[in-house]
């Protein structure tokens, strides 16, 4: 094989891996979305805010053609933080906790105000995040962050896939 063919063989996979998909097949009547404050039934307002901020950022990234607004919108995005727990997950031989599991459960409603119907609705969506106290990881910086990241990925993937 010539040098050019080998070079092309190695460069093409890299170029294709740089492509990223954004949800560009959204209905044309949805121009704006309002992402409401997270209703918090877990009594953890910081966690509720972190969830909203994460979903907001991911929504903007994956549905860039839709404008996020604070007022009247073509669609409303509502989340409720249903429950939160932080429990021991794994013990070592000395019966000491090595890892904890943070669990978060939410409900999600994505409502089309123009066609007056739900685009996506999930009554109980769950994600968890494990953190290792032996490695000096903490509940809020590691466990919650991992659970929120999983949850926001699930929420946005499911909501945009339903379009």
Q: Which range among 18-27, 54-63, 115-124, 138-147 shows the weakest confidence by mean pLDDT?
A: 18-27
- Per-residue pLDDT band for 26 (boundaries 50, 70, 90) equals low
SS3 (DSSP) at 33: strand
Instruction: Give the span between the Cα atoms of 89 and 43, in whole angstroms.
Output: 23
Cβ 58 vs Cβ 156: under 8 Å = yes
Instruction: Give the span between the Cα atoms of 146 and 144, in whole angstroms.
Output: 5
Neighbours of 11 (CB within 10 A): 10
Q: Look up the pTM and report it.
A: 0.77
Q: Which of 122, 162, 127, 152 is nearest to 58 (CA)?
A: 152
Q: What is the 3-state secondary structure (H, E, C) of 73-136?
A: CCEEEEEEEEEEEEEEEEECCCCCEEEEEEEEEEEEEEEECCCCEEEEEEEEEEEEEEEEHHHC
Q: What is the CATH number of the domain that holds 128?
A: 3.30.160.150
Q: In this predicted model, which residue has the larger pLDDT, 101 or 158?
A: 101
* 24: containing domain: 3-161
- Count of domains observed in the chain: 1
> How far does CA 118 lie from the centroid of its chain?
19
């Amino acid at each position: 094989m010539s040098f050019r063919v080998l070079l092309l063989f190695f460069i093409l996979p890299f170029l294709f891996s740089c492509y990223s998909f954004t949800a560009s097949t959204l209905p044309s009547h949805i121009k704006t979305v309002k992402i409401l404050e997270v209703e918090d039934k877990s009594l953890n307002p910081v966690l509720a805010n972190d969830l909203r901020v994460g979903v907001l950022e991911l929504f903007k990234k994956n549905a860039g053609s839709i404008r996020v607004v604070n007022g009247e919108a073509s669609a409303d995005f509502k989340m409720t933080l249903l429950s939160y727990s932080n429990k021991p997950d794994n013990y070592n031989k000395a019966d000491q906790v090595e890892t904890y599991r943070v669990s978060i459960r939410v409900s999600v409603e994505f409502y089309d105000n123009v066609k007056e119907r739900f685009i996506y609705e999930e009554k109980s969506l769950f994600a968890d995040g494990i953190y290792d106290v032996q490695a000096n990881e903490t509940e809020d910086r590691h466990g919650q962050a991992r659970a929120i990241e999983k949850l926001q990925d699930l929420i946005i993937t499911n909501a945009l896939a339903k379009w």
